[in-house]
Amino acid sequence: MKAKFEPLFESYTFPNGVTVKNRLALAPMTHYSSNEDGSISEEELVFIKARAKDLGTVITACANVTPNGKAFPGQPAIYDDQFIPGLKKLAETVQQEGAKAVIQIHHGGISCPSELVPDGDVVSASNIDRDNQKARALSTGEIEEIIEAFGEATRRAIEAGFDGVEIHGANGYLVQQFYSPYTNNRTDEWGGSVENRMKFPLAVAEACQKAIDKHAKRPFIFGYRFSPEEPSTPGLTMTETFQLVDALSNLPFDYLHISLMHALSTPHRGADTERTRIELVNEVINGRVPLMAVGKVNSPDDALAVRERNIPLIAIGRELLISPRWAAYIQEDRLEKIEYALNLKERDKYDIPNGLWEVILAAEGWVPFTR
Ligand SMILES: Cc1cc2nc3c(=O)[nH]c(=O)nc-3n(C[C@H](O)[C@H](O)[C@H](O)COP(=O)(O)O)c2cc1C
């Protein structure tokens, strides 16, 4: 390996004492290939196994914590104990390759297609009916049930042998829908002020933490993924992101995961637009919790550029779809082996499940490919 890449391959110890072999993580990626009932399929195990080997951490696809949180066909489920045996296989598949297995836990809220949720009853923070989005506001009792469901999902992850959970508080799904003034116009204790809108994310975190304290017999990795800013007005600004990050940094998380399409992007508004979001967020965190960053880390030099901005952990998504052994090629100093586009003629070599393959083909440009 070229000496300059060594900072990517130093081991890392999370605040809870768990050590991972390097700074690289597989970003959570929905693969549209769990069984119809939400149980883990053989196809997704093959997909994960092909990518886990060279990484410190593997974050598996978002798994829905309640039936009405299902946002994708072929999404893995974690809302019932019946899923534990399959989840166990998923955790073991990752661990057998030497990586730590973290499962992302999720509720889609308004982003759930009505045909995927029971009785077509799509729920969110508020009653919403605009553009293509329609949802009913959750009652106070239902809010409490979903918070509890995140805690139960954490217990199941522990029982399945995972090394950690990551709360999916990003990408506009339910946890973010509560924080965002775009989707939350409630007038009760769960809406209105920044503090009230933040209550749901913090209550979810507390429920998960309680489950960890109660059920984990060894240190368990606890992460939270957030998106920094929304393009719409009203919508989350960097100022509100800083307030959330500040609150999250006071909780016993092992990492916060900033979800970005480009890891080195700069803010649109509400902060210094000349500096990268990761640097600004890191300033707010002020050493309280490590930050993981993601987004268009394609080349080894891209990863270094993020690492050099004092970011200890780097997640990689699409590039690991294209080049599953990306990290090994850096370590073996065979950079010429790294590919930057899928070659559709060589479909079999990628171990990409059918469902995901079809999504990639349909959304041309999302994941680069050549015919
Ligand atoms: C196929 C696919 C599925 C994804 N599924 C998830 C998901 O389940 N949870 C999540 O937080 N992000 C998801 N993402 C976003 C990625 O984790 C990542 O943040 C994004 O792709 C940007 O990083 P990249 O440029 O390295 O791909 C998905 C992305 C892709 C390409």
CATH code of the domain in which 164 resides: 3.20.20.70
107 CA to middle of ligand 1, Å?
16
pLDDT given at position 297 = 98
Residue type, 341: A
Q: Are 176 and 169 in contact (CB under 8 A)?
A: yes
Q: Are 12 and 313 in contact (CB under 8 A)?
A: yes
**C-alpha–C-alpha distance, residues 7 and 286, integer Å:** 21
Residue 330's pLDDT band, with cuts at 50, 70 and 90, is very high
Residue nearest to atom 22 of ligand 1 (CA): 295
Please say if the pLDDT value at position 365 is more than 90: no
Q: Which domain holds residue 142?
A: 3-370
User: What digits encode the pLDDT tens for the residues 180-227?
Assistant: 999 999 999 999 999 999 999 999 999 999 999 999 999 999 999 999
168 CA to middle of ligand 1, Å?
11
**Cβ neighbours of residue 350 closer than 8 Å, sequence gap 6 or more:** 50, 321, 322, 324, 342
Please say if the pLDDT value at position 132 is more than 90: no
pLDDT given at position 131 = 82
Mean pLDDT of the chain: 97
Question: Is any ligand 1 atom within 6 A of the Cβ of residue 294?
Answer: yes
Residue 269's pLDDT band, with cuts at 50, 70 and 90, is confident
Question: Is any ligand 1 atom within 6 A of the Cβ of residue 297?
Answer: yes
pLDDT given at position 133 = 85
Whole-Å CA distances, 67 to 17, 38, 41, 106, 142: 34, 10, 18, 11, 13
**Cβ neighbours of residue 361 closer than 8 Å, sequence gap 6 or more:** 344, 369
Question: Is any ligand 1 atom within 6 A of the Cβ of residue 306?
Answer: no
What is the crossing angle of helices 194-215 and 140-159, to 10°?
A: 30
pLDDT given at position 22 = 98
SS3 15: coil
299 CA to middle of ligand 1, Å?
17
- Per the structure, the count of domains in the chain is 1
Enclosing H/E stretch for 178: helix 174-179
Please say if the pLDDT value at position 172 is more than 90: yes
User: What digits encode the pLDDT tens for the residues 66-81?
Assistant: 999 999 999 999 999 9
Q: Which ligand 1 atom is nearest residue 367's CA?
A: 31
pLDDT given at position 130 = 86
Question: Is any ligand 1 atom within 6 A of the Cβ of residue 30?
Answer: yes
